[in-house]
Amino acid sequence: MGVARGLILGCTLTTPSLDRHSRVAWSSSCPIAELHRYHGQRVTVCGLIIVSRHHMQQNGQPMKFISICDYSGIVECEIFAAAYRLYGLNTVRYPVVQITGEVKPFDNQQGYTLEVLRVEKARVKTPPAFIP
């Protein structure tokens, strides 16, 4: 049994948890482990939501933090108020999501987060065409 790289909250996520979503087109987006190559750029990733928490911005508007994982790793995503109003429901509607956002490096350059612009249902694999 394989284990997805990364440890969060003291427990590991095994690949069978991801394998339950075998119809997801995992290869249609940037692997989370490759995000470090795209600091300051817009990317699209796909991942299983493993942690979710609500928060209030300084101006009192709601926002949300989610952590998602794919077969390569885990990333924390910040969904600020404007994006949360438009796409927040998708974070509870779909267990696996496709996220478009900007990779924001930490000030110390020792990591990064994904500032979310859009959250959608994950793409699914297209079945092969039937050829008689």
Give the pair of three-digit tokens for residue 129. Answer: 């065409």
Q: For the chain, which residues make up each domain, given as ranges? A: 23-121
The pLDDT averaged over each successive group of 10 residues in the chain (132 residues) is 44 68 91 95 97 94 96 96 97 97 92 96 83 70
Task: Look up the pTM and report it.
Answer: 0.83
pLDDT in tens, 62-94: 999 999 999 999 999 999 999 999 999 999 999
pLDDT of residue 19: 86
pLDDT attached to residue 4: 44
User: CATH number of the domain at 23-121, please?
Assistant: 2.40.50.140
What's the confidence (pLDDT) of residue 127? 75
pLDDT recorded at residue 32: 96
Q: Which of 16, 76, 19 is nearest to 45 (CA)?
A: 76
In three-state form (DSSP H/G/I as H, E/B as E, the rest C), the secondary structure along 44-96 is EEEEEEEEEEEEECCCCCEEEEEEEECCCCEEEEEECHHHHHHHCCHHHHCCE
